[in-house]
Amino acid sequence: MSDIEHDFSILANSPTHHQERRKTRTPKPMRKTLKSTATLSNLLPTGAVFINQLLSPVLTNKGQCTNQLHHTLTVLLLVVSATASFILRFTDTVKDEKGKVRHGIVTFSGLWIVEMAEVKLSEQEKARYKAKGIDFVHASLTVLVYAVVAFCDKNIAKCFFPEESELMAEVRALAPAMVGAACSVLFVMFPTGRHGIGYPLSKE
């Protein structure tokens, strides 16, 4: 072994070197930020907005809404998407005795398992899976974000408001960003412990 390789080996195994390696780990504040971002991505109604943008050109006839059927189908799309966004905020997951993930809906009396499977929970766990005020706040904010984004869609806006004023156009352009940003801040400040459908499971 050459002198250079010997010196490098000593440096790599030195306590100082290990301390420097430990310092390169992700700082705790950054980990919290990344976790909050992951939570935010699941709270915002991205799925409902995607379906809205996919179907609105067809259901509104590209914003024309030439007959009552177009209006009815568009309203139905908005109601179903908003309802789904609201209900999904009350979904949670739990692992049974075999370690299998079970999906359920949070109620005032506890978690209702969709698969109708029996899951034994302690009293503390039962209390955790009861609906709380924060769940209604998150659900309402999610529906608000969806409603603003949906009605700012050019096809839906043209369907319900054929003659758009200049002020309405400015509101439609600014509202999604402003409401989305405000709700995002509230989501991060008041996080939820729910792990609903599509939400990554924690180690617990």
Q: Which helix (H) or strand (E) holds 11?
A: helix 3-12
Low-confidence stretches of the chain (pLDDT beneath 50): 2, 4-8, 10-12, 15-24, 26, 30, 32-38
Measured distance CA(201)–CA(187) in Å, rounded: 18
Yes or no: say if 89 and 197 are a contact pair by the CB < 8 Å rule. no
pTM of the model: 0.73
Extended strands (E) in 54-175: 91-95, 101-107, 110-113
Residue 49 phi/psi, 5° resolution? -65, -40
- 36-45: per-residue pLDDT in tens? 444 555 667 7
